Amino acid sequence: MVSRRLVVREPNPGAAMVHSDAGSQFRCTTPVTPDDPRPGCSTSWRPADPSDRPHTSRGSSPRELRTRADLRRARYGTDEKLSYSASATAPAGRRRWRPEGRSRFRIFQDPYASLNPRLPVYDIVAEPLIIHKLAKGEELRTRVRALLELVGLNPEHANRFPNEFSGGQRQRIGIARALALEPKVLVLDEPVSALDVSIQAGVINLLEDLRDRLGLAYLFIAHDLSVVRHISDRIAVMYLGWIIEIATTDDLFAKPSHPYTQALLSAIPIPDPRRERARNLILLTGDVTSPANPPSGCRFRTRCQKFRDELSESQRTKCVDEVPALEDRGTGHPAACHYAEAIRVL
């Protein structure tokens, strides 16, 4: 079994991340250095545990995806600790990442750009097995056929090229490739957002079936709240690269406590005309602040309806001067807001 802990600090302001392959918790952590005021967040997974990250900033979640999936090495003040229980020493250089890389794999957003158009499907799915020297010859052919059948594709089509498949089928090919190394965690960067709505349901159902059958854990990054609610057990909401609220799916949708989360859920239409007309929508004003030049204190205060309409001058000063910690303030789950208050939105 491989375990790893990683602390990330990047030059662009963003959330610190610490994770371990064992367990399944989100929790607050202290800053890496005393002069770094940014709050950190620790995440870890257990089998069959999809954790979702709805977000606004297109710069933060892809960075997290690349770091967690080892596509991008953490830089600038990184503190890394690697431990392999299977071996006391790890090979030097890039090869030392190979055992850990087998435990996590990623599925990308665009099923058209993530597959090599010059390779047939057989070679695409077999490539991880060949690189890691896990199978060859007849065993390799058998495993590739089994993977294609697992994701609902016809093994007889293994010699076709990606351009001969639909978008949903291409995403299934990507899932088959991701499952080749039998990973513990799949990192999914909006895996259905580029697909037609009628195709999305099939891919989501496939992911749920694979989770139950194989005991996988998912880190599912998405904008679509309906998809997030359907597939996730716990949700972490991000704003400008920081995690601002963490809760189980039921808790988050029943009693969101951060003003940004409340505004997100307020935008979801209710399929009841009377309730929809009677409820008060939370409208955000202003533009999203640049992550390269965020405001002091709370990042969300420039658009926060609570800061604008409800707080006193002294309370606003605290929002301007102090970065809110990600902690439980009596709402039942952590939220990065000095004046977090659980309210019913839906």
Choose the weakest-confidence range: 68-72, 112-116, 191-195, 242-246. 68-72
Q: What is the DSSP letter of 45?
A: -
231/79 Cα distance (integer angstroms): 33
So what's the pLDDT on residue 326? 95
Distance CA 32, CA 35 (A): 9
Write the DSSP symbol of residue 192: T
User: Residue 322 has which token pair?
Assistant: 């102090």
Residue 13 has pLDDT above 60, yes or no: no
| Residue-wise pLDDT tens digits, 300-344 | 999 999 999 999 999 999 999 999 999 999 999 999 999 999 999
pTM summary value:
0.75
Contact (Cβ atoms closer than 8 angstroms) between residue 42 and residue 19: yes
Average pLDDT, integer, range 62-87: 44
Q: What is the three-class DSSP state of 254?
A: helix
pLDDT attached to residue 84: 31
Q: How far is CA 311 from CA 115, 302, 318, in A?
A: 51, 13, 10
* Residues of the chain above pLDDT 70, percent: 71
For the chain, give me the number of helices (H) and strands (E)? 12, 11
Cβ atoms of residues 151 and 172 within 8 Å: yes
Q: Got the DSSP string for 194-251?
A: TS-HHHHHHHHHHHHHHHHHHT-EEEEEES-HHHHHHH-SEEEEEETTEEEEEEEHHH
Cα R_g (the chain), whole angstroms = 22
Does residue 190 register a pLDDT over 80? yes
Q: What is the pLDDT of residue 197?
A: 86
Indicate if the pLDDT at residue 19 is higher than 80.
no
45 CA to centre of own chain: 12
β-pairing verdict for 16-20 and 40-44: parallel
By DSSP bridging, strand 51-54 and strand 79-84 are unpaired
Tell me which of 89-103, 118-132, 297-311 is least confident: 89-103
225: exposed, middle or buried (Cβ count in 10 Å: 0-12, 13-18, 19+):
middle
Burial class (CB in 10 A: 0-12, 13-18, 19+), 63: buried
Can you tell me the mean pLDDT for 70-80?
44
The answer to whether 333 and 248 are in contact (CB under 8 A) is yes
Q: Which helix (H) or strand (E) holds 141?
A: helix 137-150
Give the integer Cα–Cα distance in Å for 193 and 202.
13
Q: Residue 302: name the closest of 315, 292, 287, 322 by CA.
A: 287
Per-residue confidence (pLDDT) for residue 98, from 0 to 100: 57
30-48 tens-digit pLDDT: 333 334 444 444 455 555 5
| pLDDT over threshold 80, residue 269 | yes
Helices (H), the chain: 60-68, 98-101, 121-131, 137-150, 167-179, 197-214, 225-231, 249-254, 259-266, 273-278, 305-309, 313-321
Whether 5 has a pLDDT exceeding 60, the answer reads no
Q: For the chain, which residues make up each domain, given as ranges?
A: 110-182
Task: Give the pLDDT band of residue 99 (cuts 50, 70, 90).
Answer: low
